[in-house]
């Protein structure tokens, strides 16, 4: 577990990310997003800031930031462009899996290069026929001497093409196992092919792909945690998703904040019936509700981050934060659009982008229906009779 980050250091890093977003991201985000163009320069800027090593322990070359600071960084990035928070999310989930469950050799081999962003990671759990129902995944890992042969199709792999290492859930004879699959970034490597690039409503710029494994061979040393990790992939990855849910909650706060701030400014500039629309009570009530939901979302996210940092199980708290913040982001983005009237629908303002980006958060890292199941299961365990 990472040490608490010195509050002054945390404030400095968050301020540096905010400056980066204001100077580098905001001027180009909408153009890149509309072109669905990969943000190469912005990702290089994130590397320079050390963000690929944000939560990787310092002994492996990372910044070793605590989870609450990480959540603040994610909010800043997402307030500029939500896709950027996705570039680090599954990378850091993969790094967290290695840091927590990897052997010493695995940590030394991968984490220092992941911390600098030289080696980029992704998480590959979902399949075309296995999303919420992770236990039904079919991708197969067949032992063959000192190797495993991987066959199957994985779906919805964000960062799948740019990644050089994939945290892959596949079915070994002992059960679902997490393999750390090294590959060259790009459309194909060995028996791995990027079989589809998904076109998306939002979350553009960064790639979400389908990956086909056809007799792809990996060494037995790719099993996360060595032979102890065989059959334990699902609990490893599902625990890793707690950090992912905090990322999603924080990015929902970022999108919601950007939408709210745009709306409250616009409401004071746009006049109808002889006064700024902010003077109409109907608009004031919208702004009050938006700000209240944003504040509640941020407090739930901070609480989940604090609990996670303290080393406690956070399935309930991270689930609540993700559930509430993502629904709040959808509502706040919609209200921001309504407050902007026709301009909210035009592509010259980022409001339409917030509106298209927000729905991902109710789906990713477990849909909100699944969050409710996770929260309820956790609560029932806390109140035995
Ligand atoms: C843009 C994007 C990026 C993604 N990136 C990644 C990634 O990097 N890595 C990765 O592994 N996955 C990724 N995913 C996949 C994502 O995690 C899954 O889409 C998600 O878990 C839902 O799975 P599904 O789409 O198969 O929906 P399904 O499981 O088919 O669910 C369909 C609907 O049924 C509901 N439902 C399902 N089961 C139940 C139940 N028991 N009770 C009540 N309702 C239920 C769901 O809530 C949903 O509303 C990504 C998805 C998107 C859209």
The CATH number assigned to the domain holding 343 equals 1.20.140.10
Task: State how far the Cα of 57 lies from the Cα of 5, in Å rounded to an integer.
Answer: 12
Specify whether 376 is located in the same domain as 239.
yes
C-beta of 238 in contact with ligand 1 (< 6 A): no
Give the DSSP H or E segment for 224: none
The protein residue whose alpha carbon is closest to atom 18 in ligand 1 is: 131
Same domain, 133 and 264: no
For the Cβ of 370 lying below 6 angstroms from any atom of ligand 1, the answer is yes
Is residue 31 located within the same domain as residue 140?
no
Q: Among 87, 90, 132, 179, name the best residue to mutate to test ligand 1's pocket (greatest count of ligand atoms within 8 A of Cβ).
A: 132
Nearest to 191, CA basis, from 183, 203, 180: 183
Q: How far apart are CA 322 and CA 263, in angstroms?
A: 23
CB 214, CB 153: distance < 8 Å: no
Together in a domain, 110 and 16? yes
Range of the domain at 195: 121-231
Residue 296 in domain = yes
Q: Please say which residue of 116, 139, 174 terminates a domain.
A: 116
Residue 325: how many CB atoms within 10 A of its CB? 33
Domain closes at, from 210, 231, 252: 231
Contacts of 151 (CB under 8 A, 6+ apart): 139, 140, 142, 213, 214, 215, 216
pLDDT at 213: 98
Mutate which of 156, 160, 207 for ligand 1 pocket (most atoms within 8 A of beta carbon): 156
Residue 127 Cα to ligand 1 midpoint, Å, equals: 10
Q: Is the Cβ–Cβ distance between 122 and 163 less than 8 Å?
A: yes
In terms of Cβ atoms closer than 10 Å to its own Cβ (0-12, 13-18, 19+), residue 337 is buried
pLDDT tens by residue, the chain, 385 residues: 578 999 999 999 999 999 999 999 999 999 999 999 999 999 999 999 999 999 999 999 999 999 999 999 999 999 999 999 999 999 999 999 999 999 999 999 999 999 999 999 999 999 999 999 999 999 999 999 999 999 999 999 999 999 999 999 999 999 999 999 999 999 999 999 999 999 999 999 999 999 999 999 999 999 999 999 999 999 999 999 989 999 999 999 999 999 999 999 999 999 999 999 999 999 999 999 999 999 999 999 999 999 999 988 899 999 999 999 999 999 999 999 999 999 999 999 999 999 999 999 999 999 999 999 999 999 999 999 9
Residue 157, ligand 1, Cβ within 6 A: yes
Q: Is the CB of 124 under 6 A from ligand 1?
A: yes
Structural domain includes residue 195: yes
- Contacts for 16 with CB less than 8 Å, ≥ 6 apart: 49
Judge if 159 and 204 occupy the same domain. Answer: yes
pLDDT number for residue 177? 98
Going 130 to 131 to 134 to 135, the CA torsion angle's sign is negative
138 and 93 in a common domain: no
User: So what's the pLDDT on residue 3?
Assistant: 87
Long-range contact list for 305-313, CB < 8 A, 24+ apart? 305/67, 305/68, 305/70, 305/71, 305/246, 305/250, 306/67, 306/68, 308/67, 308/242, 308/243, 308/246, 309/1, 309/2, 309/4, 309/66, 309/67, 309/68, 311/1, 313/242, 313/378
Please check whether residues 215 and 239 belong to one and the same domain.
no
Phi-psi region of 177 (alpha: psi -120 to 50; beta: other; left: phi over 0): beta
Q: Look at residues 96, 116, 136 and tell me which one is the last residue of a structural domain.
A: 116
- Structure tokens belonging to residue 313: 């199980």
Atom of ligand 1 nearest to the CA of 203: 1
Same domain, 159 and 197: yes
Q: Distance (Å, rounded) from C-alpha 216 to C-alpha 141?
A: 9
Q: Do 363 and 261 belong to one domain?
A: yes
Read off the pTM. Answer: 0.97
d(CA 369, CA 379): 15
Is 1 within a domain?
no
Domain shared by 242 and 322, yes or no: yes
Task: Give kind and range of the element (H or E) at residue 165.
Answer: strand 165-172
Q: Is residue 2 part of a domain?
A: no
Q: Which residue has the tokens 């927590």?
A: 100
Say if 182 falls within a structural domain.
yes
Does residue 363 share a domain with residue 352? yes
What's 70's domain CATH number? 1.10.540.10
Report the domain count for the chain. Answer: 3
Within-domain flag for 66 = yes
Nearest CA to ligand 1 atom 41: 370
Look up the CATH number of the domain holding residue 134: 2.40.110.10
Question: Hey, which residues are catalytic here?
Answer: 365
User: What is the Å distance from ligand 1's center to 373 Cα?
Assistant: 14
Domain contains 332: yes
Q: Is residue 139 part of a domain?
A: yes
- pLDDT of 1 reads 59
For 12, residues 6+ apart whose C-beta sits below 8 A from its C-beta are none
In angstroms, the CA 126 to CA 176 distance is 13
Let me know whether 173 and 195 are in one domain.
Answer: yes
Cα 133 to ligand 1 centre (Å): 8
- Phi then psi dihedrals of residue 173, to 5 deg: -55, -30
Distance 284 CA to ligand 1 centre (A): 36
| CB of residue 132 inside a 6 A radius of ligand 1 | yes
């Amino acid at each position: 577990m990472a040490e608490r980050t010195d509050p002054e250091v945390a404030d400095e890093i968050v301020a540096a990310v905010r400056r980066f977003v204001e100077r580098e991201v905001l001027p180009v985000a909408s153009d890149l997003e509309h072109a669905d163009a990969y943000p190469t320069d912005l990702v290089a800027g994130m590397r320079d800031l050390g963000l690929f090593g944000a939560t990787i322990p310092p002994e492996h070359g990372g910044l070793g930031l605590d989870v609450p600071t990480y959540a603040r960084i994610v909010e800043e990035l997402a307030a500029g462009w939500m896709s950027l928070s996705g570039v680090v999310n599954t990378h850091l989930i993969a790094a967290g899996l290695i840091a927590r469950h990897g052997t010493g050799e695995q940590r030394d081999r991968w984490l220092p290069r992941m911390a600098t962003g030289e080696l980029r990671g992704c998480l590959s759990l979902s399949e075309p026929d296995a999303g919420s129902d992770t236990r039904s995944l079919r991708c197969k890992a067949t032992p063959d001497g000192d190797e495993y042969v991987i066959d199957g199709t994985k779906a919805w792999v964000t960062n799948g093409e740019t990644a050089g290492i994939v945290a892959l859930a596949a079915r070994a004879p002992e059960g679902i196992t997490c393999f750390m699959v090294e590959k060259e970034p790009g459309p194909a490597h060995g028996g791995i092919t990027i079989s589809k690039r998904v076109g998306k409503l939002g979350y553009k710029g960064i790639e979400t792909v389908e990956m086909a494994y056809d007799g792809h061979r990996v060494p037995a040393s790719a099993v996360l945690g060595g032979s102890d990790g065989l059959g334990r992939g699902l609990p490893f990855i599902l625990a890793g998703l707690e950090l992912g849910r905090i990322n999603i909650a924080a990015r929902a706060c970022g999108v919601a904040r950007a939408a709210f701030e745009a709306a409250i400014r616009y409401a004071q500039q746009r006049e109808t019936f002889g006064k700024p629309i902010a003077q109409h009570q109907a608009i004031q009530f919208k702004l009050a509700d938006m700000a209240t939901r944003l504040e509640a979302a941020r407090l739930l996210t901070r609480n989940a981050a604090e609990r996670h940092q303290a080393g406690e199980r956070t399935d309930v708290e991270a689930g609540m934060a993700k559930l509430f913040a993502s629904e709040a982001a959808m509502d706040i983005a919609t209200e921001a659009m309504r407050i902007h009237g026709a301009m909210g629908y035009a592509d010259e303002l980022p409001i339409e982008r917030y509106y298209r980006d927000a729905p991902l958060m109710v789906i990713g890292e477990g849909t909100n229906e699944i969050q409710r199941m996770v929260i309820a299961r956790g609560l029932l365990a806390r109140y035995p009779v």
